[in-house]
Structure 1
Amino acid sequence: MIESDIKRYELLLDLLQKSKKEQDEQNNTLDQKCSSMINILILIITIQCGIYANVALLNEIASSEIAIIIKVLLIITLIGNFIALYFFIAAYYLKDFEGMTNEEDIIKYGENNTNLETIYKEISVDYKRTIEENKIELSKIDKIKLGFKIVTLTTGIFVLTIIICLEILI
């Protein structure tokens, strides 16, 4: 094998390794965001449940129409947050990653005295296959975006509800 061929395969393998590493980092970042949002939403839902339990007191303070509006708004935000939680959990669990060349294949290369060109070619092909199969699914990103949109909407409604409650109490 010519020295330039070896250099070419080394370069290709290096580029594929960097691409795989970048892909793994991107997946990890998305998973961390999902995990954080799941934890935050669980906290928000817990707080909302506590607030909703105390809304019964509003019947004594506010007119029944306003109390009903506040209860409906709280229920809408609670349902919205559960839906967003579903999307974040669904995105978080979209993990079906392919592995690289296994140890047995690598040992076979050495045992069979496989030439360097063949090793580089086969490992490069394996990297390329793994990268293609592990591409971040658009559905994962779409679920995360939808979850964030729902959280933004429900947060706005929740803030509006709190403002209404404060206006009643003041």
Structure 2
Amino acid sequence: MAPATPRPGDLIEIFRLGYEHWAVYVGDGYVVHLAPPSEIAGAGPSSLLSALADKAIVKKELLSVVAGTDKYRVNNKHDDKYAPLPPSKVVQQAEALVGQEVPYKLTSDNCEHFVNQLRYGVSRSDQVTDALLAVGVTVGVLGVGLAAANLFSFLLNRSQQEKQ
């Protein structure tokens, strides 16, 4: 099955090694995206260095250049939750930001926050939410494991003391 042909205002999810990069399609093969210094197509692990950046540039580039050899798809995944803005408004807002240097934070101002703000007027990143949830679950599981180990140790010590 061929990927959906992007339409102006569509969100494009680009699958990088270890994360997804996001852009908004503005027509004629071009996307607008938030590009920290290390966000280059096919950069692989070095793109993860974007986590250290505190500024990014809004760029308008060909989707084929931004994606490089990485796979991508149209992913307007929040259309059922939020009403998308009219495509002309999404494109107009995106193009008005091209060339600007903007704050960048992996947890609150990343490329996914950027495109969701443009399409829905809502700044959100499921990658961040999912990562924080995974950390919370891991901490929770470790906490339960430690509590169980402490309880087991307490009961074992108590049992040994009762035998004496």
Taking structure 1 as the reference length, the TM-score comes to 0.28
More helix by share: 1
Higher-Rg structure is 1
Taking structure 2 as the reference length, the TM-score comes to 0.28
